[in-house]
Structure 1
Amino acid sequence: MNIGEHEFEAAHGLPEPLPQGERLLWQGRPDAGTLAREAMHWRPLALYFAVILAWRGVDVAASAGLWPAVIAVAGLLPLAGFAVGMAWCLAILVARTTVYTLTDKRLVLRIGIVLSLTFNLPLRQIASAGLRRGGAGEGDIALELVAGTRIAYLNLWPHARPWRLKEPQPMLRAVPEVQRVAALLAEALKASADPQAVARMQPSPAEALPPIRVAVRPEARAA
Protein backbone atom coordinates (compact mmCIF):
# COMPACT_ATOMS: atom_id res chain seq x y z
CA MET A 1 0.00 0.00 0.00
CA ASN A 2 1.46 3.34 -1.05
CA ILE A 3 0.44 6.68 0.42
CA GLY A 4 1.45 9.76 -1.47
CA GLU A 5 0.80 13.48 -1.43
CA HIS A 6 0.54 15.01 -4.88
CA GLU A 7 0.15 18.42 -6.41
CA PHE A 8 -0.09 17.49 -10.06
CA GLU A 9 -1.81 14.35 -11.25
CA ALA A 10 -0.38 12.44 -14.18
CA ALA A 11 -3.89 11.03 -14.69
CA HIS A 12 -7.22 12.00 -13.19
CA GLY A 13 -7.39 10.61 -9.66
CA LEU A 14 -4.06 8.77 -10.06
CA PRO A 15 -0.49 9.71 -9.14
CA GLU A 16 0.77 8.24 -12.41
CA PRO A 17 -0.67 6.87 -15.67
CA LEU A 18 -1.85 3.27 -15.58
CA PRO A 19 0.90 0.81 -16.50
CA GLN A 20 0.54 -1.10 -19.72
CA GLY A 21 -1.81 -4.04 -19.24
CA GLU A 22 -3.75 -2.52 -16.31
CA ARG A 23 -7.38 -1.72 -17.15
CA LEU A 24 -9.55 1.02 -15.69
CA LEU A 25 -12.85 -0.52 -14.55
CA TRP A 26 -14.55 2.40 -12.84
CA GLN A 27 -13.90 5.88 -11.55
CA GLY A 28 -16.21 8.10 -9.53
CA ARG A 29 -16.69 10.37 -6.54
CA PRO A 30 -19.16 10.63 -3.63
CA ASP A 31 -22.53 12.27 -4.04
CA ALA A 32 -22.37 15.51 -2.04
CA GLY A 33 -25.99 15.42 -0.85
CA THR A 34 -25.72 11.86 0.41
CA LEU A 35 -22.37 12.64 2.02
CA ALA A 36 -23.86 15.63 3.85
CA ARG A 37 -26.66 13.44 5.17
CA GLU A 38 -24.75 10.25 6.02
CA ALA A 39 -21.25 11.46 6.95
CA MET A 40 -21.74 15.07 8.07
CA HIS A 41 -25.13 14.37 9.69
CA TRP A 42 -26.67 17.70 8.76
CA ARG A 43 -30.19 16.57 9.63
CA PRO A 44 -29.45 15.70 13.31
CA LEU A 45 -27.44 18.91 13.50
CA ALA A 46 -30.38 20.93 12.17
CA LEU A 47 -32.75 19.14 14.57
CA TYR A 48 -30.43 19.91 17.49
CA PHE A 49 -30.45 23.62 16.72
CA ALA A 50 -34.21 23.56 16.12
CA VAL A 51 -34.71 22.19 19.63
CA ILE A 52 -32.31 24.78 21.10
CA LEU A 53 -34.10 27.60 19.30
CA ALA A 54 -37.52 26.37 20.36
CA TRP A 55 -36.42 26.02 23.98
CA ARG A 56 -34.87 29.50 23.93
CA GLY A 57 -37.99 31.02 22.40
CA VAL A 58 -40.37 29.41 24.89
CA ASP A 59 -38.14 30.34 27.85
CA VAL A 60 -37.85 33.99 26.87
CA ALA A 61 -41.54 34.25 25.91
CA ALA A 62 -42.57 32.91 29.32
CA SER A 63 -40.53 35.52 31.18
CA ALA A 64 -40.45 38.55 28.89
CA GLY A 65 -43.10 38.19 26.21
CA LEU A 66 -43.39 37.34 22.54
CA TRP A 67 -41.31 40.10 20.94
CA PRO A 68 -38.18 39.55 23.11
CA ALA A 69 -38.53 35.84 22.35
CA VAL A 70 -38.49 36.57 18.60
CA ILE A 71 -35.37 38.73 19.03
CA ALA A 72 -33.65 36.03 21.11
CA VAL A 73 -34.37 33.33 18.53
CA ALA A 74 -33.31 35.59 15.65
CA GLY A 75 -30.00 36.17 17.40
CA LEU A 76 -29.25 32.45 17.41
CA LEU A 77 -30.35 31.77 13.85
CA PRO A 78 -27.01 32.82 12.25
CA LEU A 79 -25.14 30.35 14.46
CA ALA A 80 -27.52 27.54 13.51
CA GLY A 81 -27.31 28.44 9.83
CA PHE A 82 -23.52 28.61 10.01
CA ALA A 83 -23.23 25.15 11.59
CA VAL A 84 -25.58 23.49 9.10
CA GLY A 85 -24.00 25.39 6.22
CA MET A 86 -20.52 24.27 7.27
CA ALA A 87 -21.68 20.64 7.23
CA TRP A 88 -22.91 21.09 3.67
CA CYS A 89 -19.80 22.99 2.58
CA LEU A 90 -17.57 20.27 4.01
CA ALA A 91 -19.56 17.58 2.19
CA ILE A 92 -19.31 19.48 -1.10
CA LEU A 93 -15.56 20.02 -0.69
CA VAL A 94 -14.99 16.36 0.19
CA ALA A 95 -17.01 15.23 -2.84
CA ARG A 96 -15.20 17.60 -5.20
CA THR A 97 -11.71 16.62 -4.00
CA THR A 98 -12.30 12.86 -3.89
CA VAL A 99 -11.75 10.40 -6.69
CA TYR A 100 -12.23 6.65 -6.31
CA THR A 101 -10.54 4.55 -8.99
CA LEU A 102 -10.95 0.82 -9.54
CA THR A 103 -8.73 -1.08 -11.93
CA ASP A 104 -8.22 -4.79 -12.43
CA LYS A 105 -5.14 -4.57 -10.17
CA ARG A 106 -5.94 -2.09 -7.40
CA LEU A 107 -8.30 0.35 -5.77
CA VAL A 108 -7.07 3.94 -5.47
CA LEU A 109 -8.53 6.54 -3.11
CA ARG A 110 -7.49 10.11 -3.81
CA ILE A 111 -8.83 12.08 -0.85
CA GLY A 112 -8.16 15.22 1.14
CA ILE A 113 -9.25 18.86 0.96
CA VAL A 114 -6.12 20.70 2.14
CA LEU A 115 -3.65 17.82 2.31
CA SER A 116 -4.28 15.59 -0.68
CA LEU A 117 -3.38 11.92 -0.17
CA THR A 118 -3.50 8.92 -2.47
CA PHE A 119 -4.12 5.49 -0.95
CA ASN A 120 -3.09 2.80 -3.40
CA LEU A 121 -4.62 -0.55 -2.35
CA PRO A 122 -3.65 -3.59 -4.42
CA LEU A 123 -6.61 -5.91 -4.66
CA ARG A 124 -4.65 -8.68 -2.98
CA GLN A 125 -4.54 -6.56 0.19
CA ILE A 126 -8.34 -6.44 0.40
CA ALA A 127 -9.72 -9.35 2.40
CA SER A 128 -13.41 -8.65 1.86
CA ALA A 129 -15.91 -5.96 0.99
CA GLY A 130 -19.25 -5.07 2.55
CA LEU A 131 -22.05 -3.20 0.79
CA ARG A 132 -24.70 -0.92 2.24
CA ARG A 133 -27.31 0.36 -0.22
CA GLY A 134 -29.29 3.56 0.18
CA GLY A 135 -32.77 4.33 -1.01
CA ALA A 136 -31.83 6.14 -4.22
CA GLY A 137 -29.25 3.73 -5.60
CA GLU A 138 -26.34 5.26 -3.73
CA GLY A 139 -24.48 3.52 -0.93
CA ASP A 140 -21.23 2.69 0.82
CA ILE A 141 -18.64 -0.03 0.27
CA ALA A 142 -16.46 -0.91 3.27
CA LEU A 143 -13.15 -2.70 2.73
CA GLU A 144 -11.65 -5.13 5.22
CA LEU A 145 -7.88 -5.29 4.70
CA VAL A 146 -5.71 -8.35 5.15
CA ALA A 147 -3.84 -8.79 8.43
CA GLY A 148 -0.89 -6.45 8.72
CA THR A 149 -2.35 -3.77 6.47
CA ARG A 150 -3.58 -0.74 8.40
CA ILE A 151 -4.42 2.88 7.63
CA ALA A 152 -4.97 5.41 10.42
CA TYR A 153 -8.62 6.32 10.92
CA LEU A 154 -7.95 10.06 10.93
CA ASN A 155 -6.07 9.80 7.64
CA LEU A 156 -9.12 8.17 6.07
CA TRP A 157 -12.03 10.14 7.57
CA PRO A 158 -14.69 10.54 6.27
CA HIS A 159 -13.75 7.68 3.93
CA ALA A 160 -13.72 5.20 6.81
CA ARG A 161 -16.29 2.83 8.24
CA PRO A 162 -17.79 4.58 11.29
CA TRP A 163 -16.64 3.56 14.77
CA ARG A 164 -13.97 1.11 13.53
CA LEU A 165 -11.14 2.90 15.35
CA LYS A 166 -9.05 -0.09 16.39
CA GLU A 167 -9.07 -1.73 12.96
CA PRO A 168 -10.00 1.03 10.50
CA GLN A 169 -11.69 0.01 7.30
CA PRO A 170 -11.49 2.24 4.22
CA MET A 171 -14.94 3.01 2.85
CA LEU A 172 -16.14 4.31 -0.48
CA ARG A 173 -18.77 6.76 0.73
CA ALA A 174 -22.01 7.86 -0.95
CA VAL A 175 -21.21 6.10 -4.23
CA PRO A 176 -23.86 6.56 -6.96
CA GLU A 177 -25.05 3.32 -8.60
CA VAL A 178 -23.34 1.46 -5.78
CA GLN A 179 -24.75 -1.94 -6.76
CA ARG A 180 -23.00 -1.79 -10.13
CA VAL A 181 -19.75 -0.60 -8.55
CA ALA A 182 -19.91 -3.36 -5.93
CA ALA A 183 -20.39 -5.97 -8.67
CA LEU A 184 -17.34 -4.63 -10.54
CA LEU A 185 -15.28 -4.71 -7.35
CA ALA A 186 -16.39 -8.24 -6.48
CA GLU A 187 -15.42 -9.51 -9.92
CA ALA A 188 -12.07 -7.75 -9.77
CA LEU A 189 -11.33 -9.17 -6.32
CA LYS A 190 -12.23 -12.69 -7.39
CA ALA A 191 -10.12 -12.40 -10.53
CA SER A 192 -7.13 -11.27 -8.49
CA ALA A 193 -7.43 -14.05 -5.90
CA ASP A 194 -6.10 -17.57 -5.95
CA PRO A 195 -8.79 -19.49 -7.94
CA GLN A 196 -8.52 -22.53 -5.67
CA ALA A 197 -8.95 -20.38 -2.57
CA VAL A 198 -11.97 -18.64 -4.08
CA ALA A 199 -13.57 -21.99 -4.85
CA ARG A 200 -13.25 -23.04 -1.19
CA MET A 201 -14.79 -19.87 0.25
CA GLN A 202 -18.42 -19.09 0.98
CA PRO A 203 -19.89 -15.57 1.44
CA SER A 204 -20.09 -14.54 5.08
CA PRO A 205 -22.96 -12.47 6.55
CA ALA A 206 -22.60 -8.70 6.78
CA GLU A 207 -21.73 -7.45 10.25
CA ALA A 208 -23.29 -4.01 9.99
CA LEU A 209 -23.53 -3.34 6.28
CA PRO A 210 -26.56 -5.29 5.00
CA PRO A 211 -27.55 -6.86 2.71
CA ILE A 212 -24.40 -8.55 1.37
CA ARG A 213 -20.76 -9.14 2.14
CA VAL A 214 -18.44 -10.58 -0.45
CA ALA A 215 -15.55 -12.58 1.05
CA VAL A 216 -12.69 -13.07 -1.37
CA ARG A 217 -9.60 -13.82 0.70
CA PRO A 218 -8.69 -16.68 3.02
CA GLU A 219 -7.50 -14.03 5.50
CA ALA A 220 -11.01 -12.58 5.88
CA ARG A 221 -12.30 -13.01 9.39
CA ALA A 222 -15.79 -14.32 10.05
CA ALA A 223 -18.22 -11.61 11.07
Structure 2
Amino acid sequence: MSHDDFKVEPIRGLPERLPEGEHILWQGSPLPGRLAREAMGLHWIAGYFVLLIIWRVGVSSTQFPLSVALGHAIPFVVIGLVSCGMIYGLATIQARSAVYTLTNKRVAMRIGAALTMTLNLPYTQIGNAQLDLRKGGTGTLAFELIGDVRLSYAMTWPHIRPWRMAHTQPALRCIPDAANVARIFAEAAETRVAEPKVERLDADTTGGTAVAAE
Protein backbone atom coordinates (compact mmCIF):
# COMPACT_ATOMS: atom_id res chain seq x y z
CA MET A 1 0.00 0.00 0.00
CA SER A 2 1.38 3.38 -0.95
CA HIS A 3 1.90 5.93 1.76
CA ASP A 4 2.43 9.65 1.44
CA ASP A 5 4.51 10.96 4.34
CA PHE A 6 3.30 14.49 3.63
CA LYS A 7 -0.42 13.84 3.07
CA VAL A 8 -1.27 15.71 6.30
CA GLU A 9 0.10 18.96 4.88
CA PRO A 10 -2.79 21.34 4.17
CA ILE A 11 -0.50 23.09 1.68
CA ARG A 12 2.45 21.33 0.03
CA GLY A 13 5.62 22.14 1.92
CA LEU A 14 3.85 23.88 4.81
CA PRO A 15 2.70 22.37 8.13
CA GLU A 16 -0.40 24.56 8.33
CA ARG A 17 -2.54 26.89 6.26
CA LEU A 18 -1.24 30.38 5.73
CA PRO A 19 -2.71 33.06 7.97
CA GLU A 20 -4.81 35.83 6.49
CA GLY A 21 -2.72 38.30 4.56
CA GLU A 22 0.06 35.84 3.69
CA HIS A 23 0.39 34.22 0.27
CA ILE A 24 2.90 32.10 -1.63
CA LEU A 25 5.20 33.84 -4.10
CA TRP A 26 7.34 30.88 -5.16
CA GLN A 27 7.89 27.20 -4.42
CA GLY A 28 10.63 24.86 -5.59
CA SER A 29 13.01 22.04 -4.76
CA PRO A 30 16.71 21.26 -5.35
CA LEU A 31 17.81 19.63 -8.58
CA PRO A 32 19.05 16.11 -7.66
CA GLY A 33 22.00 16.10 -10.03
CA ARG A 34 23.24 19.50 -8.89
CA LEU A 35 22.72 18.59 -5.25
CA ALA A 36 24.75 15.41 -5.71
CA ARG A 37 27.64 17.33 -7.26
CA GLU A 38 27.68 20.55 -5.26
CA ALA A 39 26.57 19.35 -1.81
CA MET A 40 27.74 15.73 -1.76
CA GLY A 41 30.87 15.89 -3.91
CA LEU A 42 29.78 13.37 -6.54
CA HIS A 43 32.28 14.65 -9.10
CA TRP A 44 35.15 14.34 -6.61
CA ILE A 45 34.20 10.77 -5.71
CA ALA A 46 33.90 9.86 -9.38
CA GLY A 47 37.26 11.48 -10.13
CA TYR A 48 38.89 9.58 -7.26
CA PHE A 49 37.75 6.22 -8.65
CA VAL A 50 38.82 7.19 -12.16
CA LEU A 51 42.33 7.82 -10.84
CA LEU A 52 42.28 4.47 -9.00
CA ILE A 53 41.24 2.68 -12.18
CA ILE A 54 43.97 4.36 -14.22
CA TRP A 55 46.54 3.51 -11.54
CA ARG A 56 45.41 -0.12 -11.33
CA VAL A 57 45.57 -0.58 -15.11
CA GLY A 58 48.94 1.17 -15.27
CA VAL A 59 50.51 -1.01 -12.57
CA SER A 60 49.07 -4.24 -13.96
CA SER A 61 50.08 -3.43 -17.53
CA THR A 62 53.76 -3.55 -16.53
CA GLN A 63 53.39 -7.27 -15.77
CA PHE A 64 50.40 -8.43 -17.83
CA PRO A 65 48.92 -7.82 -21.28
CA LEU A 66 46.60 -4.82 -21.53
CA SER A 67 43.51 -7.02 -21.81
CA VAL A 68 44.36 -8.70 -18.51
CA ALA A 69 45.30 -5.40 -16.88
CA LEU A 70 41.90 -3.97 -17.77
CA GLY A 71 40.27 -6.93 -16.07
CA HIS A 72 42.15 -6.14 -12.86
CA ALA A 73 40.41 -2.75 -12.76
CA ILE A 74 36.90 -4.21 -12.85
CA PRO A 75 36.49 -4.33 -9.03
CA PHE A 76 37.34 -0.61 -8.84
CA VAL A 77 34.83 0.13 -11.60
CA VAL A 78 32.10 -1.76 -9.76
CA ILE A 79 32.85 -0.14 -6.38
CA GLY A 80 32.99 3.29 -8.01
CA LEU A 81 29.66 2.85 -9.77
CA VAL A 82 28.00 1.60 -6.58
CA SER A 83 29.41 4.49 -4.55
CA CYS A 84 28.34 7.12 -7.08
CA GLY A 85 24.94 5.49 -7.38
CA MET A 86 24.45 5.63 -3.62
CA ILE A 87 25.42 9.31 -3.51
CA TYR A 88 23.08 10.17 -6.36
CA GLY A 89 20.30 8.18 -4.72
CA LEU A 90 20.77 10.06 -1.43
CA ALA A 91 20.70 13.37 -3.30
CA THR A 92 17.50 12.36 -5.08
CA ILE A 93 15.81 11.45 -1.79
CA GLN A 94 16.88 14.72 -0.19
CA ALA A 95 15.76 16.74 -3.21
CA ARG A 96 12.35 15.09 -3.47
CA SER A 97 11.62 15.48 0.23
CA ALA A 98 12.58 19.16 0.27
CA VAL A 99 10.17 21.96 -0.55
CA TYR A 100 11.30 25.58 -0.44
CA THR A 101 8.64 28.27 -0.14
CA LEU A 102 8.80 32.05 -0.37
CA THR A 103 5.78 33.95 0.88
CA ASN A 104 5.29 37.67 1.27
CA LYS A 105 6.34 37.34 4.93
CA ARG A 106 8.86 34.52 5.32
CA VAL A 107 11.03 31.76 3.92
CA ALA A 108 9.74 28.27 4.73
CA MET A 109 11.87 25.16 4.21
CA ARG A 110 10.45 21.67 4.59
CA ILE A 111 13.57 19.50 4.66
CA GLY A 112 14.76 16.09 5.78
CA ALA A 113 14.15 12.58 4.50
CA ALA A 114 14.16 10.36 7.60
CA LEU A 115 13.46 13.19 10.04
CA THR A 116 11.32 15.88 8.44
CA MET A 117 11.17 19.40 9.82
CA THR A 118 10.04 22.80 8.63
CA LEU A 119 12.11 25.94 9.12
CA ASN A 120 10.19 29.21 9.26
CA LEU A 121 12.44 32.21 8.67
CA PRO A 122 10.64 35.56 8.87
CA TYR A 123 12.22 38.23 6.70
CA THR A 124 12.75 40.33 9.83
CA GLN A 125 15.19 37.66 11.10
CA ILE A 126 17.26 37.58 7.89
CA GLY A 127 20.06 40.11 7.90
CA ASN A 128 21.58 39.31 4.53
CA ALA A 129 21.29 36.88 1.62
CA GLN A 130 23.95 35.69 -0.79
CA LEU A 131 23.41 34.11 -4.20
CA ASP A 132 25.89 31.60 -5.59
CA LEU A 133 24.89 31.54 -9.26
CA ARG A 134 26.16 28.65 -11.37
CA LYS A 135 26.28 27.82 -15.06
CA GLY A 136 22.88 27.19 -16.56
CA GLY A 137 21.04 29.49 -14.18
CA THR A 138 21.01 27.17 -11.18
CA GLY A 139 22.30 28.42 -7.85
CA THR A 140 22.11 28.53 -4.08
CA LEU A 141 20.52 31.34 -2.08
CA ALA A 142 21.88 31.42 1.49
CA PHE A 143 20.47 33.42 4.39
CA GLU A 144 22.47 35.06 7.17
CA LEU A 145 20.30 35.11 10.29
CA ILE A 146 20.34 37.83 12.92
CA GLY A 147 19.51 37.81 16.61
CA ASP A 148 19.63 34.68 18.74
CA VAL A 149 18.52 32.30 15.98
CA ARG A 150 20.77 29.22 15.92
CA LEU A 151 20.38 26.15 13.73
CA SER A 152 22.13 22.78 13.83
CA TYR A 153 24.50 22.26 10.91
CA ALA A 154 24.03 18.48 11.00
CA MET A 155 20.23 18.63 11.22
CA THR A 156 19.85 21.06 8.32
CA TRP A 157 22.52 19.61 5.97
CA PRO A 158 22.61 19.69 2.97
CA HIS A 159 20.21 22.65 2.92
CA ILE A 160 22.81 25.05 4.25
CA ARG A 161 25.70 27.17 3.02
CA PRO A 162 28.81 24.92 3.10
CA TRP A 163 31.43 25.33 5.83
CA ARG A 164 29.50 27.91 7.86
CA MET A 165 29.37 25.79 11.02
CA ALA A 166 29.67 28.38 13.78
CA HIS A 167 26.77 30.39 12.37
CA THR A 168 24.75 28.05 10.20
CA GLN A 169 23.18 29.71 7.18
CA PRO A 170 20.12 27.89 5.83
CA ALA A 171 19.99 27.92 2.05
CA LEU A 172 17.83 27.15 -0.93
CA ARG A 173 20.30 24.72 -2.48
CA CYS A 174 20.76 24.03 -6.18
CA ILE A 175 17.52 25.62 -7.35
CA PRO A 176 16.69 26.37 -11.01
CA ASP A 177 16.26 29.96 -12.20
CA ALA A 178 18.10 31.10 -9.08
CA ALA A 179 18.49 34.73 -10.15
CA ASN A 180 14.73 35.13 -10.49
CA VAL A 181 14.16 33.48 -7.10
CA ALA A 182 16.67 35.87 -5.53
CA ARG A 183 14.81 38.80 -7.07
CA ILE A 184 11.48 37.57 -5.67
CA PHE A 185 13.06 37.18 -2.24
CA ALA A 186 14.69 40.62 -2.30
CA GLU A 187 11.48 42.39 -3.30
CA ALA A 188 9.38 40.52 -0.72
CA ALA A 189 11.89 41.04 2.08
CA GLU A 190 12.26 44.75 1.32
CA THR A 191 8.50 45.21 1.30
CA ARG A 192 8.03 43.25 4.51
CA VAL A 193 10.79 45.01 6.44
CA ALA A 194 9.53 48.41 5.28
CA GLU A 195 6.02 47.79 6.60
CA PRO A 196 5.20 50.12 9.53
CA LYS A 197 4.81 48.44 12.90
CA VAL A 198 2.15 49.84 15.21
CA GLU A 199 2.65 49.57 18.96
CA ARG A 200 0.30 50.61 21.75
CA LEU A 201 1.87 52.89 24.34
CA ASP A 202 0.84 53.65 27.89
CA ALA A 203 -2.07 56.00 28.42
CA ASP A 204 -1.03 59.66 28.50
CA THR A 205 -1.80 62.08 31.30
CA THR A 206 -5.11 63.08 29.74
CA GLY A 207 -6.42 59.54 29.97
CA GLY A 208 -6.18 58.90 26.25
CA THR A 209 -4.23 56.14 24.50
CA ALA A 210 -1.11 57.00 22.52
CA VAL A 211 -0.20 54.96 19.43
CA ALA A 212 3.21 55.02 17.82
CA ALA A 213 4.13 53.78 14.35
CA GLU A 214 7.61 52.65 13.52
Which category of TM-score, normalised to the shorter sequence, fits these structures? 0.7 to 0.9
Q: Which SS does the other structure have where 1:193 is aligned?
A: helix
Q: How far apart, CA to CA, are the structure 2 residues paired with 1:135 and 1:65?
A: 43
**What is the CA-CA distance between 1:147 and the residue it aligns to?**
2.6
**What is the CA-CA distance between 1:71 and the residue it aligns to?**
2.2
Alignment deviations for residues 67-113 of structure 1 (CA, whole Å, 9 cap, x no partner): 44222101221100011111211121111111001111111100111
Structure 2: which 5+ runs fail to align?
197-214
Q: Residue type of the partner of 1:51?
A: L
Asked which structure has the greater CA Rg, the reply is 2
Q: Which SS does the other structure have where 2:109 is aligned?
A: strand
Q: How far apart, CA to CA, are the structure 2 residues paired with 1:72 and 1:9?
A: 52
Q: How far apart, CA to CA, are the structure 2 residues paired with 1:195 and 1:117?
A: 29
Matched with 1:138 is 138
Q: How far apart, CA to CA, are the structure 2 residues paired with 1:6 and 1:74?
A: 42
Q: Residue type of the partner of 2:163?
A: W
**Higher alpha-carbon deviation: 61-70 or 7-16:** 61-70
- Equivalent residues of 1:6, 1:116 under 8 A apart: no
Q: Residue type of the partner of 1:23?
A: H
Q: How far apart, CA to CA, are the structure 1 residues paired with 2:7 and 2:127?
A: 31
Structure 1: which 5+ runs fail to align?
197-223
**What is the CA-CA distance between 1:195 and the residue it aligns to?**
6.3
Q: Which SS does the other structure have where 2:129 is aligned?
A: strand
Say yes or no: does 1:22 pair with 2:2. Answer: no
- Equivalent residues of 1:6, 1:15 under 8 A apart: no
Q: How far apart, CA to CA, are the structure 2 residues paired with 1:195 and 1:92?
A: 39
* Segments of 4+ moved more than 2 angstroms: 5-8, 63-68
Matched with 1:110 is 110
Matched with 1:75 is 75
Q: Residue type of the partner of 1:119?
A: L
Alignment deviations for residues 134-172 of structure 1 (CA, whole Å, 9 cap, x no partner): 111111101000031110111111111111111110111
Q: TM-score, with normalisation over the residues of structure 1? A: 0.81
**For this pair of structures, how many residues does the alignment match?**
192
**What is the CA-CA distance between 1:6 and the residue it aligns to?**
7.2
Matched with 2:190 is 190
Matched with 1:47 is 47
Q: 1:136 to 1:11 in 2, by over 3 A?
A: same
Q: How far apart, CA to CA, are the structure 1 residues paired with 2:195 and 2:16?
A: 30
Q: TM-score, with normalisation over the residues of structure 2? A: 0.84
**What is the CA-CA distance between 1:181 and the residue it aligns to?**
0.7
Q: How far apart, CA to CA, are the structure 2 residues paired with 1:51 and 1:74?
A: 13
Alignment deviations for residues 4-34 of structure 1 (CA, whole Å, 9 cap, x no partner): x977212100000111111111111111222
Matched with 2:121 is 121
Q: Residue type of the partner of 2:48?
A: Y
Q: 1:22 to 1:154 in 2, by over 3 A?
A: same
Q: How far apart, CA to CA, are the structure 2 residues paired with 1:7 and 1:73?
A: 47
Matched with 2:203 is none
Matched with 1:152 is 152
- Equivalent residues of 2:52, 2:76 under 8 A apart: no
Superposition CA RMSD, Å: 1.8
Matched with 1:60 is 60
Matched with 2:101 is 101
Q: Which SS does the other structure have where 1:128 is aligned?
A: strand
Task: Specify which structure has the bigger relative contact order, considering alpha-carbon pairs within 8 angstroms and separated by 6 or more residues.
Answer: 1
Q: How far apart, CA to CA, are the structure 1 residues paired with 2:17 and 2:60?
A: 63
Q: Which SS does the other structure have where 1:143 is aligned?
A: strand
Alignment deviations for residues 118-145 of structure 1 (CA, whole Å, 9 cap, x no partner): 1111111111111111111111101000
Say yes or no: does 1:35 pair with 2:35. Answer: yes
- Equivalent residues of 2:100, 2:107 under 8 A apart: yes
